[in-house]
Structure 1
Amino acid sequence: MIAFWIILTGALVAVTCGLLGCFLILRKMSMVGDAISHAVLPGIVIAFLLSGSRETLPMLLGAGATGLLATFLIEYFHRRAGLQTDAAIGVTFTFLFAVGIILISAFAGKVDIDQDCVLYGEIAYVPIDLWVTANGTIMGPRPVYILSVVLLVVSVFIKLGYKELKLTSFDPAFASALGISTALWHYLLMAAVSFTTVSSFESVGAILVIAFLIGPPATAYLLTHDLKHMLAITVVLAIFISFTGYWMAYWLNASIAGCMAVITGGCFVGVFSIRQLIKPKGSQAITNEVMA
């Protein structure tokens, strides 16, 4: 049963992150998840200072607010200062992360709230993080319920906004000509990424969240020219990586998150190697043809 809960948690995070990661890759913003996972630190510290508690809700609210601030600053620096997206991401997350470290050392130095406990979770502990009702009934691991809700929200968001997300990812100018607000859909996507990242890294760890945001979508990107197929392949890969990664860790007696990340990289390298050997005519990644 322990294996089931760990694999299920990994699959929930991998599928949710992978679906959003598809659009991040198409927008050349795949490392924004890394930026958010570090930039949320000051929000967590401020939430603790205001609430005096390390309960999940204030931590998530504080982290989510700072994650949205990070996405706003990244876009602002990119558009107003003319910085490349990667440079804007680097400036923003290092600045906010440093602010968080200063806040910890100045105001929370004697409290167990450091970068290890707020940025890095451990998926192996999921089965013991139980949701217990007021009458003492054990409902199962709390993260599974949280991550299931996150997956549902993200799936509905992509379903309802699929056309807008596709158009603003492939051709922002054409989307604007049709009256679609590219800025609005950019911030909605970034809000979804922030929401997912913050909700996930407490349970599975920031490194695994970043791996899931980039790995499965990047692998699917090599396999298809169709966005819908890319999303479907990403989901299948996400589930496969969670299952295989857990049993690899069990066999090697190694880190579960580490093995899942290794399997993620292995899938990408395997697909890339096969493509290099086959080299089909006219081979290229997703293009604007999928918009037809």
Structure 2
Amino acid sequence: MSYTAWILLTASLVGVSCGLVGVLLILRRMAMMADAISHTVLLGIVVAYLVTLQLSGIHMFIGAVVAGLLTAVLVQWFHQLGVQQEASIGIVFTTLFAIGVILIATKAGNAHLDVQHSLMGEITFIPWNKVLLPLVGEVPKAVVSLVIVLIVILTVLLLFYKEWKLTSFDAVFAASIGIPVTLMHYVFMSLVSITSVAAFDAVGAILVIAMLITPASAAYLWTDKLSIMLVLSSIFGIISAFSGYYMAVLLDTSISGAMALATGIIFLISFIGAPRHGVIAKHRRGHAKSTATIN
């Protein structure tokens, strides 16, 4: 595959993975958890480096996932103590991210770890960092990890589709029929964590947040059916990857930033023109209702 094709494939895998997980985030009204986890994984990465003094390896992934799960546990704990969920997310997110930034500045100054790289990522380097796979050949490491994560996400979604649907729309009813709502919550937070971690190094926190929230929010405007919402969100993620890349080439700017902008443009189009919940559709229904009332 060509250099451009690897970049587009990587971004598309991020778009699909984040799009699928993002739908459940939106339905559960936990969109800010995407922001929190995509930033707090930095702490896990820094701690893993300080323990091993190595910038690559499975320990970095494990450290980041643990940090993501720690974020979810602390947010839930504060919420159970009576703190509003939004406030809990804000407190945990800013505190853990700040600790990560301080550790980078004071303990990892000589390593190739910096906040700008963590936020924006560097997707242009993805095609150069490859691993040799049997029967396949050389493949970028980021593509391998993202494919594995996508397979895990699809497997968990398909195996527990009914449970995700019930716990997302009516957690009280789900608990009343015996579904372990708390366990499903932490399984879902694990999915958010591994998705954020897999995409974090390649595309940075900004694009991870954009891909987790915006395509799913756009899909929500088009349909009320979960299965269609999942498909649309994935498609919007892929469209954002392609359009953002060529926008970046045209404007000679950050690829990740352009892809994030593309997700916003797709949401704006959906917000105005979606046939289900778009502004134009709502205006037409309101006008038709008022006309019928007058007649």
TM-score by length of 1: 0.90
Superposition pairs of residues 21-100 of structure 1, within 5 angstroms: 21-80=22-81, 82-100=82-100
**Counterpart in 1 of 2:114?**
114
Q: What is the aligned partner in structure 1 of residue 290 from structure 2?
A: none
Distance in 1 between the 2:179 and 2:74 partners?
22
Aligned residue in 2 for 1:232:
231
Q: Tell me the amino acid that sits aligned with residue 42 of structure 2.
A: L
CA contact (8 A) 1:120 1:201 kept: no
Identical-residue share of aligned pairs (%): 44
1:178: Cα distance to partner? 0.5
Give the structure 1 partner of residue 293 of structure 2.
Answer: none
Q: Distance in 2 between matches of 1:175 and 1:62?
A: 32
- On the 8 A contact 2:120/2:256 being kept in 1, the answer is no
Structure 2: 5+ residue stretches without partners: 287-295
Q: Residue type of the partner of 1:91?
A: I
Change (3 A) 1:160 1:252: same
Residues 231-264 of structure 1: CA deviation (Å, up to 9, x unaligned): 1111221121111111222222222112111111
For each residue in 1:1-50, what CA deviation from the matched residue of structure 2 results, as whole angstroms up to 9, or x when unmatched?
Answer: 12211111111001100100000001110121111122122222221121
The superposition leaves residues 80-113 of structure 1 with CA deviations (integer Å, 9 ceiling, x where unpaired) of 2x22222111100111112223333443333332
Distance 1:180 1:141 in 2: 39
Query: Could you state the TM-score of these two structures normalised by the residue count of structure 2?
Result: 0.89
Letter in structure 2 aligned against 1:130: K
Tell me, yes or no, if the aligned pair for 1:37 and 1:119 is still in contact at 8 Å.
no
CA contact (8 A) 2:120 2:207 kept: no
Q: Which piece of structure 1 moves more, 13-22 or 138-147?
A: 138-147
SS in 2 for 1:205: helix
SS in 1 for 2:139: strand
Secondary structure of 2:46 counterpart: helix
Aligned pairs for 1:52-201 (under 5 A) are: 52-80=53-81, 82-132=82-132, 139-201=138-200
Q: Distance in 2 between matches of 1:99 and 1:243?
A: 35
Find the residue that maps to 1:222 and give its secondary structure.
helix
Q: Structure 1 pair 262/105, CA: closer, same or farther in 2 (3 Å)?
A: closer
Deviation at 1:120, TM superposition (A): 3.8
Q: Secondary structure at the match of 2:222?
A: coil
Segments of structure 1 that go 5 or more residues without pairing to the other structure are 284-292
1:213 has 2:212 as partner: yes
Contact 2:74 2:92 in 1 (8 A): yes
1:279 counterpart letter in structure 2: K
Instruction: Show CA shifts across 1:110-159 (max 9, x none).
Output: 3332323445421122111222479xx95121211111111111110111
Corresponding pairs, count? 280
Task: Using the TM superposition, give the Cα deviation of residue 280 of structure 1 relative to its aligned residue in structure 2, in angstroms.
Answer: 6.7
Structure 2 Cα separation of the partners of residues 282 and 77 of structure 1 = 42
1:68–1:282 CA distance, 2 compared to 1 (3 A): farther
The verdict on how the C-alpha distance between 1:253 and 1:187 changes in structure 2, with shifts beyond 3 A counting, is same
Q: Does the CA contact (< 8 Å) of 1:120 and 1:202 recur in 2?
A: no
Aligned-pair RMSD on alpha carbons? Answer: 1.9
